[in-house]
Homo-oligomer: A and B are copies of this chain.
């Protein structure tokens, strides 16, 4: 199971939750590398972040998912609770730099406003940032990372709950090159659809109405740019269906230019996921 980041990353934690403690985990530097590991058969699955409840859609994940041809087989929402971790013996008053992923830094604006002498420094991932801080042996440096990363690298926790909002979750998906998901099972099922529409006004409204009439309660919709076609998009539509969703029957009622791929279909998770009526 490939994930993006270093050991101790939030993604590693999500991979263990989704695939079990026995899963053999493969850390990869970038999201593209994690999907490449699935494409070349090194990994069966990639566990990657899809959205964060403060920062929104994770850039890159949806495009990589749709390009990869992978299907989503499960998801989990993990609480994101940042600590400021540094060298054992270091103090917060001596810090000059805090390294982390740009999204993690952006979630801690209040902390950095209250501590103007600590400069945020953007790097690839939270756990990698902490590992580099520990290796540097520089007590003026710290990292914004998870509590389990701090434990993993033997770092001192200099401050906790660094994020601006306590309710901070990242939703991770488990994606692999598996047979197309079955949307005929018993619900409630969570479905993810990739949709391309004909160039005609009203096609998105008509599609959403048809989905609604088919019993789908949509939770989320995003425009995904088509590479090589500036300002053209496909849509990733997510929702919960009470029972089966007959995509062929749905397509028969829509504009013939409509293309729908079922990207994911799995039991609706038992996390804090509250579908929003749409």
Contact = CB atoms under 8 A, between A and B. Distances in A.
Interface stretch (A38-46, A52-60, A176-184): A52-60
Contact-residue size bin, chain A (C-beta under 8 Å from the other chain): 35 or more
B231 A77 contact: yes
A229 B102 contact: no
A270 interface: no
B222 A223 contact: yes
A153 interface: no
Contact of A231 (B164, B165, B274): B274
A228 interface: yes
Contacts of A229: 53, 167
A62 interface: yes
A204 B221 contact: yes
A199 interface: yes
Contact of A276 (B59, B197, B209, B228): B197
A220 interface: yes
A203 B277 contact: yes
Contact of A204 (B56, B62, B218): B218
A218 B278 CA distance: 17
* Identical copies of this chain, number: 2
A117 interface: no
Given A53-B227, A164-B227, A230-B272, 20 more contacts: A32-B106, A52-B225, A55-B60, A56-B63, A56-B223, A57-B223, A59-B103, A59-B106, A77-B230, A102-B102, A169-B230, A197-B276, A200-B277, A201-B277, A205-B211, A205-B212, A230-B274, A231-B272, A232-B276, A235-B278
A198 interface: yes
B55 A204 contact: no
A51 B219 contact: no
A22 B55 CA distance: 34
Contacts of A63: 54-56
Interface string A152-184: 000000000000110111010000000000000
Interface in A225-262: 225, 227-233, 235
A209 B209 CA distance: 8
